[in-house]
């Protein structure tokens, strides 16, 4: 089927209108008319080839909310007209140990990502949600709970599950003490989810002036991590720290704030840490540094259902797709509170 979208043609070209073909639907496919697509830092990194492996043309976008237009004859969970979501993955082998556990993101053969990946059946490149239509196997389509604002729900498909997964993995709930490093797209979702789970929640920030927004989101405390006196007050306090910083940074100052057997979870940065980790800060107190990467399909659905129950969505700024290049520049300046979401209806403008 013919599809309209926006694509990057090279690392230096601005994203621009792009026509391409989606595959014919298979018997287990769901065809979704896209309504909204969130804008993730990963979109920018891949569009500008920061990792050195992008293949062009590239149609980004993996925070997709839309309405079902068509279903294959083997599809049983969805019907025409349903509101659904599509996240970072559209397929996996579905047979290996991680896939059978619902950890498709760790598929032994590698998951098929929503864009910048290769379809495991026909070998064609996958294209993302900066477009008007997407075709996805039923197993990777998520049901959107009634009542959730569809634009605000779009970032849940990446930012939401990225922060929900470690909170769930480390059993955050009533009585837990959780800190979040960074108040951005990931950070504000981690704060909202941890608070709704019943935790006592603290924001770590390196710059003052975030307090009003943080308290509006629902945090209990704000700590200026560049102030040694404030850091000393929270020594040994936190069961879990969710580190959402998307660039190289020093994690050592945060380790003393963990309680016995506390854990710091990296979710925002996947490169080398330039400052060596002081082993003493890990050994003393049986503390741990670990990481978490998006999340599997079953836990993504659980996260969406939880957000539906508690009315949790991302704080978003809705833009027409014609402003995507400006949005990328603003994102680099952290000039968004806290996630851009593209109104895909603007493709027709």
What is the pLDDT at residue 299?
97
pLDDT single digits (tens) 257-282: 999 999 999 999 989 999 999 999 99
> In this model, does residue 183 exceed pLDDT 90?
yes
Q: What 3-state DSSP class applies to 84?
A: strand
pLDDT single digits (tens) 107-124: 999 999 999 999 999 999
pLDDT band at 209 (very low <50, low <70, confident <90, very high): confident
What is the pLDDT at residue 134?
98
CB 267, CB 243: distance < 8 Å = yes
Q: The tokens 């003490």 sit on which residue?
A: 177
User: Which helix (H) or strand (E) segment is 66 a member of?
Assistant: strand 64-71
pLDDT single digits (tens) 304-332: 999 999 999 999 999 999 999 999 999 99
Statement: the pTM of the whole predicted model exceeds 0.85 = yes
CB 301, CB 143: distance < 8 Å = yes
What is the pLDDT at residue 208?
85
Least Cα distance to 86 among 69, 112, 117, 65 occurs for 65
CA dihedral sign, ordered 115, 116, 119, 120 = negative
Q: Which two tokens stand for residue 188?
A: 């504000």
Furthest CA-CA distance within the chain? 63
Q: Which residues on adjacent β-strands are paired with residue 318?
A: 341
DSSP state for residue 129 in the 8-state scheme:
S
Q: The tokens 């945060």 sit on which residue?
A: 254
What is the pLDDT at residue 249?
95
């Amino acid at each position: 089927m013919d599809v309209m979208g926006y694509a990057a043609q090279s690392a230096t070209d601005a994203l621009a209108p792009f026509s391409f073909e989606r595959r014919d639907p298979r018997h287990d496919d769901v065809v979704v008319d896209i309504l909204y697509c969130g804008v993730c830092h990963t979109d920018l990194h891949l569009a500008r080839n920061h990792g050195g492996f992008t293949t062009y043309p590239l149609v980004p976008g993996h925070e997709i909310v839309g309405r079902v237009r068509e279903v294959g004859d083997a599809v049983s969970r969805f019907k025409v007209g349903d509101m659904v979501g599509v996240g970072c993955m559209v397929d996996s082998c579905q047979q290996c140990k991680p896939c059978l556990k619902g950890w498709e993101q760790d598929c032994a053969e590698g998951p098929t990502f929503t864009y910048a990946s290769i379809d495991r059946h026909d070998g064609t490149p996958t294209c993302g949600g900066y477009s008007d239509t997407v075709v996805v196997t039923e197993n990777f389509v998520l049901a959107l709970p009634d009542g959730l604002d569809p634009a605000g729900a779009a970032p849940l498909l990446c930012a939401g599950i990225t922060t929900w997964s470690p909170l769930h993995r480390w059993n955050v709930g009533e009585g837990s003490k959780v800190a979040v490093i960074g108040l951005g797209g990931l950070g504000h979702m981690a704060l909202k989810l941890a608070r709704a789970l019943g935790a006592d929640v603290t924001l770590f920030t390196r710059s003052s002036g975030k307090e009003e927004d943080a308290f509006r989101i629902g945090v209990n405390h704000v700590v200026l991590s560049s102030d040694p006196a404030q850091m000393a007050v929270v020594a040994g306090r936190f069961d879990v720290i969710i580190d959402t910083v998307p660039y190289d940074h020093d994690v050592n100052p945060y380790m003393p704030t963990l309680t016995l057997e506390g854990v710091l979870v990296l979710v925002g940065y996947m490169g080398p840490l330039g400052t060596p980790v002081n082993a003493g800060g890990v050994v003393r107190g049986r503390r741990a540094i670990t990481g978490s990467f998006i999340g599997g399909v079953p836990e993504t659905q659980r996260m969406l259902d939880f957000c539906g129950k508690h009315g949790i969505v991302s704080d978003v700024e809705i833009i027409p797709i014609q402003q995507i290049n400006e949005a990328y520049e603003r994102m680099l300046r952290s000039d968004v509170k806290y996630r851009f979401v593209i109104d895909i209806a603007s493709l027709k403008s």
